[in-house]
Amino acid sequence: MKQIDALRFFGFALALSCCSANSFAIEIISYGDTNTPMAETLAFSKESLGIDLDDLGFYKLSVAATGLVGHQTNPMPGNNQTISDLSNAQILIEKLEGPIQLSAIVGSYSIAELSAAYVRSSVLPNNTWGYLPAGWLKIPAGDQFSVSFGKLFAIGGLEGTFSYENTNIQRGLLWKQTSSVSRGVQIDYDNKEIYASIAFTDGSYSNTYNWLGAQVNYQVNKKNAFTLSWNGSLSGNSLQTDSTPLLQNNSQISTLIYSYKSPYVTLSPYLQYTYVPENTSIGIYGSANTQGVALLSTFRLFPLDEDGNPPRTNISFPLRFEYIKSQGNTYTSESDLLFGPNSSAWSSTITPTYQWGMYFARVEASYVRALNATTGAGYGYNGNANNQARFLLEAGILF
């Protein structure tokens, strides 16, 4: 069955809602809940735009408008040393109550990523997930179960897709191995202590529905939690695009995360293992794997509230350290898991952050060192440099 384009679907749904409502009202509301996964260094304003469509429900609209400037050493081909861009220009639409709920993110974005060339927001949406990068309908089934379908954030990993969702501006080395946005269906269970999900999707946005994923989060108490996830391909797929890298889209990803959160400190160490099986029919002529370990930490000057939310004035100091190595050889010429077969890398990132109400600014310094890199697979225009440093400033509003 041909899939309905998500942008047309949600546009039709909203237009139908507006035209069918007996009346509607627009107001500024205090409505802090959101379906968008956020780290505790940034938060949307407690006030946002609300639209009441009478019998058709209440919709919350939020805005993420952020810009990015910076400098990098040993730029990749297609990049300059200077970075300047609009990193997010998005509207978030949410209906959080009723028998049919909705979440959608509409607009442009860029993805600053360690160890990858920077792609501008004027180009990236057309090459990846479009101008509706995420959007799903959610059907609650009682107090603890729900079913969601559409463009979903993929199961697994610790970091989100867009910069404002994360403690650091750039995604890390381990994030690169995971899928980010997937199309499919997901079943969730939540009893406040245990949150579990199972999803059947198209993996790295391949439009071939052959991925299965499962995740369990156990909240031991207010300060301690564990998350275990597995996400992987059930069959081979030869597709190779910017949003669907061949090796990662045919991989299996396991992650174990521990999280400690107190009013002033968050510590999140995690382990990641990925495996790509040999599949000569799609051009993977040997198996390979990656093994990664990371620590994400945040130190705050002002404490989180009793619900774990940041204060209106928030000053924080996130730190991230990573190490990842690859083993095996897939014998592919146009893609690789890291810097060539049996290479490894480590990174460090610091991102001092200030937010006051809807306004925020943060600076970031990062350094990546490649080890045992294949000639031509490293940094710089000729691929022979073994390190890269970046210095970034991101600022904007989250309303």
Q: Given a cut of 90, is residue 194 above it in pLDDT? A: yes
Judged against a pLDDT cut of 80, whether residue 326 lies above it is answered with yes
Mean pLDDT on 102-128:
95
What is the Cα–Cα distance from 385 to 364, expressed in whole angstroms? 22
Quick one: pLDDT at residue 39? 87
**Residue tagged 């309303």 (tokens):** 399
- pLDDT (mean) for 68-79: 95
pLDDT at 18: 47
Residue with tokens 């607009």: 107
* CB proximity list for 221: less than 8 A, separation 6 or greater: none
pLDDT at 144 over 50: yes
pLDDT number for residue 254: 97
Q: How confident is the model at residue 25 (pLDDT cuts 50, 70, 90)?
A: low
Q: What is the mean pLDDT of the chain?
A: 90
Domain ranges of the chain: 6-398
| pLDDT reading at 11 higher than 90 | no
Euclidean distance between CA atoms 340 and 372, whole angstroms: 8
At 321, is the pLDDT very low, low, confident or very high (cuts 50, 70, 90)? Answer: very high
pLDDT on residue 16: 43
Give the span between the Cα atoms of 98 and 82, in whole angstroms: 47
**d(Cα 156, Cα 225) in Å, to the nearest integer?**
15
Partner residues linked to 346 by β-bridges: 323, 369
What is the CATH T-level fold of the domain 6-398, as seen in this structure? Porin (2.40.160)
Separation CA 220–CA 227 (nearest Å): 11
Question: Model confidence over 162-177: pLDDT tens digits?
Answer: 999 999 999 999 999 9
Structure tokens at 374: 């294949």
Name the band, by pLDDT with cuts 50, 70 and 90, for residue 243. Answer: very high
pLDDT at position 78: 87
Q: CB–CB of 291/316 below 8 Å? A: no
Strands (E), the chain: 25-30, 47-52, 58-72, 82-95, 101-109, 134-141, 145-153, 181-190, 194-201, 211-219, 224-233, 252-261, 265-276, 288-300, 313-328, 344-350, 353-356, 359-371, 387-398
> Bridge-partner residues for 148, per DSSP?
138, 186
In 21-134, where does DSSP find H-type helix? Answer: 124-127
Per-residue pLDDT of 262-291, as tens digits, reads 999 999 999 999 999 999 999 999 999 999
